């Protein structure tokens, strides 16, 4: 018997449900007549007495969930394929299958390595004792490739802090999507500045695309070419098609538009370069975990009273971190962002645990007042300039002779990083 491509896809769908290999199915490229509907995500869900197919109807501004008995749900999927929805992806633990309707009569079918290799847990109550994580370690191919897990899918002892950080970071991003207005967007672009070995870059890509079902593209910017090559090869091997790593210096990166700019533990003024690029690319969210704070540390010349207070090196060190990050938050506010500053992970795991978040907002600000606050703080600590203000507002804060001084100082300080 000859069967056409759609029938072939439907048989694979039936068999994935029967063999309990079905994970989920997404229906995209909507061509039907319902206003605002863009996609449907179908999952398998355990209810008290039965298992059902749960359809999440994604509209431009809302989501509606409807549950169907398995057979009814599968029939419904078959009526929608190729009539209302032109792009269908089946995720099963054996393989992903993509069915694509174009201009020609016959749809194209593609078989891809499975994104998910764990069977669906249809009875979550049974496992309530197990801590739920955003990014799971078991069967996670990229965590294995990045050295976070071993071949049994267990987190390597020395990587436990990193794994905790990854999950905490994803949890924070999840919360911030709502407050920044990005939660309702189906396409999201992210730039991770100073992406290093890509631990968090991979996790955010995985979370946005495979857990939240968004179409997210993520770029990692990193100066060290061997890390860039390594991360690109891992991204390819796990079929993360919209995840790319580019070699370059953050200060030279030119982004047209990115929704989220991230810089986690980018060194010293690289954090300021990332903030500047995030503002330039009109990011709704700027997320930073600053690392070392040398630029302001060298500038601090406190007045007599503060001098006594900060005579111990460690206190001066801590104070310069607070002044650097406090001024960053004020400069973000001056640029139209609401800011939050908090500890994102316990200090017992890392001392570099302060996170600064900027959320773009239309709220009115008193510019004069913020400029006055920044000037007062600089005066109190005897600081000539904060590197970020030289990027964002040179005219507000700098006199021409000071600008020359700054140029000389920054040129001599800045590490030479190949582009």
Ligand X SMILES: C[S@@+](CC[C@H](N)C(=O)[O-])C[C@H]1O[C@@H](n2cnc3c(N)ncnc32)[C@H](O)[C@@H]1O
Footprint of ligand X on this chain (CB under 6 A)? Answer: 194-196, 199-200, 221-224, 227, 249-250, 264-267, 270, 273, 291, 417
Q: Which is nearer to ligand X, 291 or 327 (CB)?
A: 291
Residue nearest ligand X (C-beta atom): 196
Q: Which is nearer to ligand X, 115 or 223 (CB)?
A: 223
Q: Which is nearer to ligand X, 203 or 310 (CB)?
A: 203
CB of 396 to ligand X, least distance (A): 25
CB of 203 to ligand X, least distance (A): 10
CB of 269 to ligand X, least distance (A): 8
Q: Which is nearer to ligand X, 73 or 194 (CB)?
A: 194
Q: Which is nearer to ligand X, 115 or 249 (CB)?
A: 249
Dist. CA 131–CA 141, nearest whole Å: 20
CB of 3 to ligand X, least distance (A): 49
Q: Which is nearer to ligand X, 267 or 371 (CB)?
A: 267
CB of 225 to ligand X, least distance (A): 10
CB of 140 to ligand X, least distance (A): 17
Q: Which is nearer to ligand X, 90 or 170 (CB)?
A: 170
CB of 323 to ligand X, least distance (A): 21
């Amino acid at each position: 018997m000859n069967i056409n491509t759609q029938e072939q896809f439907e048989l694979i769908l039936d068999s994935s449900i029967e063999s309990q290999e079905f994970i989920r199915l997404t229906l995209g490229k909507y061509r039907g007549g319902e206003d605002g509907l863009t996609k449907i995500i179908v999952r398998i869900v355990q209810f008290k007495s039965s298992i059902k197919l749960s359809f999440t109807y994604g509209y431009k501004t809302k989501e509606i969930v409807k549950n169907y008995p398995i057979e009814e749900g599968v029939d419904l999927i078959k009526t929608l394929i190729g009539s209302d929805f032109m792009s269908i992806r089946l995720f099963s633990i054996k393989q992903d299958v993509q069915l694509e309707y174009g201009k020609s009569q016959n749809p194209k079918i593609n078989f891809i390595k499975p994104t998910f290799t764990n069977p669906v847990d249809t009875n979550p109550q049974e496992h309530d004792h197990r801590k739920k994580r955003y990014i799971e370690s078991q069967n996670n191919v990229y965590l294995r490739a990045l050295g976070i897990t071993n071949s049994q899918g267990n987190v390597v002892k020395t990587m436990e802090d990193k794994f905790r950080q990854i999950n905490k970071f994803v949890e924070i991003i999840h919360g911030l999507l709502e407050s920044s207005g990005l939660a309702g967007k189906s396409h999201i672009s992210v730039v991770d500045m100073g992406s290093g070995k890509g631990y968090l870059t991979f996790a955010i890509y995985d979370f946005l695309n495979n857990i939240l079902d968004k179409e997210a593209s993520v770029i990692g910017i990193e100066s060290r070419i061997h890390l860039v090559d390594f991360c690109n090869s891992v991204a390819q091997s796990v079929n993360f098609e919209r995840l790319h790593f580019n070699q370059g210096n953050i200060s030279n990166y030119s982004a047209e538009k990115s929704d989220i700019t991230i810089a986690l533990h980018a060194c010293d003024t690289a954090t300021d370069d990332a903030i500047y690029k995030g503002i330039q690319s009109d990011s709704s969210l700027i997320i930073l975990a600053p690392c070392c704070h040398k630029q302001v540390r060298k500038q601090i010349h406190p007045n007599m009273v503060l001098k006594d207070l900060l005579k111990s090196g460690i206190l001066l060190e801590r104070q310069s971190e607070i002044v650097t990050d406090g001024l960053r938050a004020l400069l973000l506010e001056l640029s139209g962002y609401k800011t939050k500053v908090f500890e994102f992970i316990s200090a017992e795991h890392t001392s570099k645990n302060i996170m600064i978040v900027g959320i773009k907002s239309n709220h009115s600000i008193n510019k004069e007042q913020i400029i006055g606050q920044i000037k007062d703080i600089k005066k109190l600590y005897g600081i000539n300039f904060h590197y970020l203000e030289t990027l964002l507002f040179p005219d507000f804060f700098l006199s021409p002779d000071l600008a020359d001084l700054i140029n000389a100082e920054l040129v001599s300080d800045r590490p030479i990083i190949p582009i």
